[in-house]
Amino acid sequence: MTSTHEVLRLALTQPVNHPLEPLTVEEVAAAVALVRQESNLGVDVGASFRFPCVTLKEPPKSTVLNFQVGDPIERQAFLILLDNETGTTYEAIVSLTQKRVVFWQAIPDVQPNIMPDELSECEAAVKAHPEFRAALAKRGITDLDLVVVDPWAIGNFGFEDEKGIRLSRALCYLREKPDGNFYARPIDGLVPVVNLNKMEVLRIEDMDVVPVPPEASEYADRFQPPLRTDIKPLHITQPEGPSFEVDGHHIRWQKWDLRIGFTPREGLVLHQVSYEDQGRLRPILYRASLSEMVVPYGDPRPQHYRKNAFDVGEHGVGVLANSLTLGCDCLGEIRYFDAVLTNSRGEVAITENAVCLHEEDYGILWKHTDWRLNEAQVRRSRRLVLSFIATVDNYEYGFFWYFYQDGTIQYEVKLTGILLCGTLVDFPQYGTVVAPELNALNHQHFFNLRLDFDLDGTGNSVCEVNSYAEAIGPENPQGNAFYAQSTLLTTEQEAQRIIDPFTARYWKVVNPNVTNRLGQPVGFKIVPGENVLPFAHPDSPILKRAGFMTKHLWVTPYEPDEMFAAGSYPNQHPGDEGLPQWTRANRSIENTDLVVWYTFGHHHIPRPEDFPVMPTAYSGFMLKPVGFFDANPALDVPPLVKGKEQGCCHEG
């Protein structure tokens, strides 16, 4: 075993060239070692402690913005710790530079996220419990190797006997064969509740004996009839290599310049997104990340009403990220980035190839044909893709950032995986029958993006733009006129807004202190894509806990501790945290350093075609320049040479 002294030596000898570089393997190990050896914390950080989070403590924004190459870098780690013995949660900041713990505090009345190894330990505890085995036997189930226990966060519904206990409520399934699809065969009416700190079964909720759905509904290729044979190879090659440059976690591509990070909670994080324009590197976003993600289900029956997953705050999409070594998730000339994390005991755990970087053709960038000159000018669009994929129980989520040559940024979530189903007991009012005796539950997915804008500086404002028809009159005699009206949003409560497709509503972030050559303030607009509002009642527990879902737009002044739309610790929290709480202060958001929070929702009434595995659904939004440039910034993209580029101007 490597000594603490050696771990610290290795951490301090690894070169780090920027304050936002993610923690290295050596730094993560050193942060955990320093907390364990610290004698002035008032507790012994021993075997009863878990480590839900070990990540970079990002330096103050001013430090990063003023950083020059060669400046000394103070490296710090932020840790969340859970003592299973006492149930106490702690936060710590470790200075790797000073080799000491500089902050340590107990956080009362909270539960950190549930960690992956807690899930496996919980399943083992349930399967070993005699009352659970008896309940299975009552249902004619005797082979425990075919039983799957899938722990979920229990939520908060105000029950007194659940307060202050770290709990999981598990869903149970039965595979037809050892390597089969268990999600198609729920054991409804049987729900174990587990104390995760003690790994003890508190109770077995045994409601009714309901037959397990009969069909296996397999999706893996080994179970399918003969596969299609008429798909020809499609090769994506770049003989001269990709157009991007990578230095550590610093990426340059087609005038874009940005850094990336990765946290256990948020997954992929963008830092200092800028675009080179006329020889200047112009800042757009200081930081952008997935702040929260909530999946409320719509079945009120006792088996199902607690199914409200906070996939970011209750679990963490970073710690659940796939290693993209296992499949063909990305195509082309790929550059991968590993994620340096820990398991719950603080041991370094590396997710290899967690983040995928590549570029891809995206059709026509722009085109015009002048028939009088018999001339066509056309440019192919290319986009840079940054992505990672997380498996959260039954669902897969692909989180994709796209960067385009015309200055557009796109965020897209790709939803696939397996529907969450229940046994069909009666008419499926709250779902869709997707197989015999199997009901796929109605649900929604809500995503909140935290966008820390720095458009040409930190003095930014937000406007809402709506389009209206001009009334018929002397200036509009034919009734064809319409116009766009821009309204400045000056306070937090003014900026709590929802989409309105009937006025073509969008929101525009501007820097009122910087104008383009036409005298217009430089800006970027949020272009909504698919969106919806929650159908839960305003007084429901889920809306108390995830109030951010009720508005599509929130804007706050920059505060470094305001990071997560539903608060820092949503697991089992009663709610009224995060954006609803912060914005009660109704702070000014005019010409200041501000953060835009955009919420978008995917509404899912299941189809039979979504089963047994769901074709990918897409949801997201765009950020498009509005007056940020003096003209189309993609005019300098060169045309393809006829016959030179693979697939261009060739007839088969």
CB 174 within 8 A of CB 144: no
Nearest residue to 573 via CA among 101, 155, 117, 212? 155
Asked if 311 is an active-site residue, the reply is: yes
CB 332 within 8 A of CB 359: yes
CB 211 within 8 A of CB 186: no
d(CA 183, CA 187): 10
End-to-end CA distance of the chain: 62
430: which 2 tokens?
């709250």
Give the phi and the psi of residue 545 in degrees, each rounded to 5: -90, -25
Angle between helices 130-138 and 116-127 (to 10 degrees): 70
Give the phi and the psi of residue 623 in degrees, each rounded to 5: -115, 115
The residues with which 82 forms a beta bridge, in sequence order, are 50, 89
Beta strands (DSSP E) in 519-644 are 521-528, 553-557, 594-604, 614-625
CA angle in degrees (0–180, nearest 5) for 17-340-85 = 125
DSSP string, 537-550: -TTSHHHHH-GGGG
Q: What sign for the dihedral angle of Cα 251, 252, 253, 259?
A: positive
If one counts every other C-beta atom within 10 angstroms of the C-beta of residue 331, the result is: 12
d(CA 207, CA 135): 10
CA angle in degrees (0–180, nearest 5) for 31-32-38 = 90
Burial of 2 (0-12, 13-18, 19+ CB in 10 A): exposed
In the set 90, 286, 297, 395, the catalytic residue is 395
Q: For residue 239, say if its preceding peptide bond is cis, omega within 30 degrees of 0.
A: no
CB 152 within 8 A of CB 171: yes
d(CA 99, CA 5): 10
Amino acid residing at 399: F
Amino acid residing at 238: Q
d(CA 352, CA 144): 32
Spell out a b/e string for 40-67, using b for 16 or more CB atoms within 10 Å of the CB, else e.
eeebebeeebbbbbbbbbbbebeebeee
Beta strands (DSSP E) in 278-347 are 280-296, 308-310, 335-342
In the set 150, 311, 452, 610, the catalytic residue is 311
Beta-carbon contacts of residue 380 (< 8 Å; ≥ 6 apart): 361, 363, 364, 365, 640, 645, 648
CB 408 within 8 A of CB 173: no
Active site residues: 311, 395
